[in-house]
Amino acid sequence: MGLFANLMGKIFGEDHPAATTPPVAADAPAEVAAAAPEVAAAPAAAVAAAPVDYEAVLDAMNEKVSEELDWRSSIVDLMKLVGMDSSLTARKELAKELHYTGDTSDSATMNVWLHQQVMAKFAASGGKMSA
């Protein structure tokens, strides 16, 4: 199981399709989608699952930790919140999984991109924000 699937499993639950489907970046080359049509079709299947209010889930987790974490804008804090390794090495691995094409030495830019991708994938995988 990759880092992204692990992250999704910690939020959506291990049995949610989003937790078991490998990610394909929205801007991934067409040949990636063509090589794995079941992966390209996965977001539609994941949406069919019951939506999960990931904001409520993450807020509930955040209430139980002593450290103040800003999961809404920080990939590091989001990873910490769900109990994952948030080291630069782990974030670079997550970036590779999500097909980041930027400079991984520029961790600030990479972190912003990672957070945006993860939030978009939450929504695409049947996640919803509370009102």
Instruction: Give me the number of domains the chain comprises.
Output: 1
Measured CA to CA, the distance from residue 65 to residue 129 in angstroms comes to: 21
- SS3 category, 4: helix
Chain segment 28-85, per-residue pLDDT in tens: 444 444 444 444 444 544 445 567 788 888 999 999 999 999 999 999 999 999 999 9
Measured CA to CA, the distance from residue 36 to residue 65 in angstroms comes to: 39
Chain segment 3-22, per-residue pLDDT in tens: 988 888 888 776 655 555 55
Predicted TM-score (pTM) of this structure: 0.72
Measured CA to CA, the distance from residue 113 to residue 68 in angstroms comes to: 22
Domain holding 75, by residue range, is 3-128
